[in-house]
Amino acid sequence: MIKILKYSFYDLMRSRWSYVYLAFYMLLGFVLLFLNSDLSKATITLMNIIVVLTPMIGTIFGIMYFYNSREFTELLLSQPVKRSTIFLGQYLGLSLSLSMSLIIGLGIPFLMYGITQSDAVGNFITLLASGTFLTFIFVALSLNIGLGNSNKIKGFGYAILMWLFFAVIYDGLFMISLIVFGDYPLDKFALGASLFNPIDLSRIMILLKLEISALLGYTGALFQKFFGTNLGILISVGVLLLWIFIPVMLMLRKSLRKDF
Amino acid sequence: MIQVTDLNKSFGKLEVLKGVSFSINRPGVFAVLGHNGSGKTTLLKTILGMVIPNNGELQVNGAAIKRSWEYRKDIAYLPQIARFPENLTVNELIKMILDIRNRKGREVELIQRFGLEKFLDKKLSDLSGGTRQKVNIVLAFMFDANICIMDEPTAGLDPVALIELKKLIEEEREKGKTILITTHIMSLVEEVAEEIIFLLDGKIHFQGTLEEMQKQTNEKDLEHAIAAMLVPNGTHNH
């Protein structure tokens, strides 16, 4: 599997897009720090960008990579390699290269502004960790969509819709249901609902770590009340890991039945 | 060596293979023939495990291939359309396959035979169709696999390369390999194939030697024999 991972990774490093993505984050980091030299404030601004952007990039790259690497996949399938190895290798290669672009791209400007000497270093690491989680989650989800749709246009459409659902529509539905069912106790429902959206979950995780209760929002506050800060963080990390594990398992199962 | 029993495969509503059964128990060159869309490629891909059959059994070297992958160590495959990862150079692609197979190959000799030396550092996306096909041939033959599956190996080849390919097939046959080949070029079949597996409407319509086919259809010429096969009940006249 390491070999497949290595070649997928090389292949991606060859493509211009990894560098565009890296350059984008680097630029973003420098601009943010230039406009707002307070590291912890810049971290918060960055959070709002990361929880929306990393899922989007993961989704788009995931689905694009799946369709573009079809030749590579077919070539590998005719070799003596296990199917699950091929897909797991490609998945990890893609997720790792995207995560590296994120970590290096943001790491360089923040390191240059002396993040290691400030108190915001823990928060910054949490931020990168949640971006990495989201990348791994959304790449897995979009690969699932790719495996399920041979039609590129359809696959692309579904993938974008999936991202839109988690990034925007989910929150909307959640808000509406809170208003409609405002007369009932909704604590447990709200708590449960936030577990089913990895974007919400990572936002809560970051905010719990940042200890900014003002920004926590309804579900975040519930999380804190129910579990306390530390257990809250632990639970959100655990559920995020499940969010990686389950789609990856589904992807591997799907790949075993697919015709090439 | 290869045993196929009652193989069925449909893509959606389209039934491609409807109970295909045949076996290949000896080395030699076997031509899989049939008109366009008769399921030749699908059949070859199921043997490779790239297409998953709806039902039926497939054995390679005496073991069922379902959910197995080790058996592919013994199979070389030359796909119909030579499509490769575009960002790689020829050299990198060959190195990669050598690395993945974890075996020594005879790529240097084959590169020379097909005159690919000057393309080694070119990206695959910059190569012409014929040159890609030559790379395809190198990849398929560089390992000493006992079974070789070739789907339209002549596509886009120039006459010189075609002669070289025929020589290569001949050499492999002499080494005792089993070679499965699909092609629409009947002269190639006549030159290299010993046995014909004829697919019609998703079933094996005929399996036997060229002579048997000629006898059965009363046609001397292979092309006419094939045409006679395509027309049911031998009503074909010319």
Query: Residue A65 and residue B92: Cα distance in Å, rounded?
Result: 20
What ipTM was reported for this prediction?
0.84
Q: Which of B49, B73, B84 sits opposite A75 (nearest CB)?
A: B84
Work out how many CB contacts closer than 8 A connect A with B: 64
Q: Provide the token pair at A217.
A: 């929002």
* Distance set, CA B22 to CA B5, B11, B177, B182, B198 (Å): 7, 22, 18, 16, 11
Look up the domain containing B177 and give its range.
Answer: 2-41+51-234
Q: Is residue B63 part of a domain?
A: yes
CB pair distance less than 8 Å for B50 and A260: yes
Q: Which CATH number fits the domain that encloses residue B82?
A: 3.40.50.300
What's the Cα-to-Cα distance from B130 to each of A5, A18, A119, rounded to whole Å?
30, 32, 62
Q: Is residue B187 part of a domain?
A: yes
Q: Is residue B125 part of a domain?
A: yes
* Closest CA of chain B from A153, distance in Å: 19
Name the CA dihedral angle for B151, A75, B7, B183, rounded to a multiple of 10 degrees.
Answer: 0
A118: domain range? Answer: 2-257
In a domain, B46, yes or no: no
Check CB contact under 8 Å for B11 and A4. no
pLDDT tens digits, A15-69: 788 889 999 999 998 998 888 777 777 888 888 889 999 999 999 999 999 998 8
Between the alpha carbon of residue B230 and those of residues B196, B233, B234, B235, the distances in Å are 14, 9, 9, 10
Domain contains B213: yes
User: What mean pLDDT do residues A164-187 have?
Assistant: 87
Does B131 reside within a domain?
yes
pLDDT of residue B234: 46
Average the pLDDT over A145-172 and give the result. Answer: 93
State what percent of residues in chain B have pLDDT above 90: 22
pLDDT confidence of A214, banded at 50, 70, 90? Answer: low
* Pick from B11, B52, B101: CB nearest A79: B101
Q: For B5-40, what is each residue's pLDDT tens digit? A: 888 898 888 888 888 888 888 899 999 988 888 888
Q: Which helix (H) or strand (E) holds B7?
A: strand B2-11
pLDDT attached to residue B238:
46
Inter-chain touch A259–B51, beta carbons under 8 Å = yes
How many domains in chain A? Answer: 1
Total tally of structural domains belonging to chain B: 1
Amino acid at A42: A
Instruction: Determine the distance from the C-alpha atom of residue B154 to the mean position of all C-alpha atoms in its chain, rounded to a whole number.
Output: 11
Mutation for testing the B interface, residue in A85, A97, A259, A260 having most B CBs under 10 Å: A259
Which pLDDT band, with edges at 50, 70 and 90, does B236 fall under? very low
